[in-house]
Structure 1
């Protein structure tokens, strides 16, 4: 079982002051259930899954706003079958005042289902700005991507940062989750060295069963060596246990230097556990040194 240690002041104030959460289109009941433990105005990302349709995604974004949070709908480039599909989604968001913030991702399909190969093509289309989008999140991969070479990832990040600036759009980077702080902080330092000053939201798994966490890690190419697992609090021999990100956040607080790393916040991947994650964060933020 995970233990809730005392949270360092740096985590409970700066890093967790404006955390964000992630949900699917079908998680609206779970969001309603967790509402009391989530600070008003929290950014809640709504994923773009292949097994969910446009009405489901729009209804989820509306629910996020209705419950007092900030919706961040995801746009999956390779899942958009046509320019008309892209415009239809953006128009639906705009009609309900839900389009100010989005996250642009390439998406899971190996081949595009339509004209958009990657998230850069969504930005370059001009449709985001035309539909009232003001802030665009883009993805970052501190431990690399299983299907994309590292030099390509850095080149694309530079291109997307430049494209956002050219379009007059604000931006931010949301990273893939991981279990080891060291590569995350090293990656952010390189990001700054590359001249990319966008704010970063570090992806962190919410509390979940070890088996589930390892399953997601394998799917997304996240390192889970025995040493990393021990650092994080995962037990590779006890897959029935649970783990939370307390050790990760403590280590992050100790290594985070605003002068070197710039603006950094936390993004929680809830893996279906919105209430468990929001309650965990509430407890962690209110813990105080003895």
Structure 2
């Protein structure tokens, strides 16, 4: 559990302790540019995109470690063509001393490209711990998923939590980003009500252009009605503007109660803007 921070507190500091960031395999130059603005030891997730090679993903994870941060390589289950491909990736991570933490997702392809239908299948394979993985992150969807029913999402989360425990792996949840705190906190409370005690990192968009944020929201099925957009601070009449997550984080701090919500931290989706995001976080922490 987190500290005794509840919704009556006025500070956002507890939520911003130990925040995490996300980058792609192509973002190594941007990481180098941003390194001085990111706290040492920050967890940085490295995505597993279809247009990136194994070496590109490995180079990015190596760079994260080299700059003094904690790499969290993604494993996209449905993008793995074979068990051998999974073992090749895990063996390379182990050889570089960066296999401790991974984040396992189903992935975008509608049909598996190999033997792994979803992230649960990768966890159940038993290969992760064989190659030195100790901590496994999994996805959470407070506002649902455009291609997966809510009952299936709840079942998957419960099964993944149980499988991690059975395999002796610690774990955590990173949620898809959203613009409205209310469904996020309601979802977290439901997670706890179902007996899932994994730490949760709430996905938050880094500062970005309104048009770009809306594009990502549409892609991932995130609700962004005119009312929600205004609540977040987006101007749908000025798509050329930019927006940061300050209102969202303050509302999260006001509604967060550790007794009901358990351990919560923040995970920033940077959309390629590692420096802009890390500078924004640093400035926001000083203000609050």
Residue equivalent to 1:159: 159
Residue equivalent to 1:192: 192
1: distance between equivalents of 2:101 and 2:192?
A: 23
Q: Is 1:40 aligned to 2:32, yes or no?
A: no
2: distance between equivalents of 1:231 and 1:100?
A: 39
Residue equivalent to 1:11: 12
Residue equivalent to 2:59: 59
Cα deviation for residue 9 of structure 1 reads 5.2
Cα deviation for residue 171 of structure 1 reads 0.3
2: distance between equivalents of 1:184 and 1:83?
A: 35
1: distance between equivalents of 2:235 and 2:284?
A: 22
Query: SS at 2:26's partner residue?
Result: coil
2: distance between equivalents of 1:10 and 1:69?
A: 26
State the TM-score, normalizing by the size of structure 1: 0.96
1: distance between equivalents of 2:261 and 2:71?
A: 26
RMSD: 0.7
State the TM-score, normalizing by the size of structure 2: 0.96
Query: SS at 2:12's partner residue?
Result: helix
2: distance between equivalents of 1:43 and 1:225?
A: 32
The question of whether the paired residues in 1 share the 8 Å contact of 2:203 and 2:268 is answered with: yes
Q: Would you identify which runs of 4 or more consecutive aligned residues in structure 1 move more than 2 Å?
A: none
2: distance between equivalents of 1:197 and 1:169?
A: 14
Residue equivalent to 2:4: none
Q: Is 1:268 aligned to 2:264, yes or no?
A: no
**How many pairs were matched up?**
280
Residue equivalent to 1:4: none
Cα deviation for residue 11 of structure 1 reads 1.4
Cα deviation digits, residues 2-55 of structure 1 (max 9, x gap): xxxxxx75312x110100000000100000000011000000000000000100
Q: Taking structure 1 as reference, are residues 118 and 263 closer, same or farther at Cα in structure 2, changes over 3 Å only?
A: same
Q: Is 1:238 aligned to 2:269, yes or no?
A: no
Q: What are the residue-to-residue correspondences of 1:118-137 with 2, within 5 Å?
A: 118-137=118-137
Cα deviation digits, residues 60-79 of structure 1 (max 9, x gap): 00000000000000000000
Question: Unaligned stretches of 5+ in structure 1?
Answer: 1-7
Q: Is 1:69 aligned to 2:69, yes or no?
A: yes
Residue equivalent to 1:3: none
The question of whether the paired residues in 1 share the 8 Å contact of 2:10 and 2:254 is answered with: no
Question: Unaligned stretches of 5+ in structure 2?
Answer: 1-8
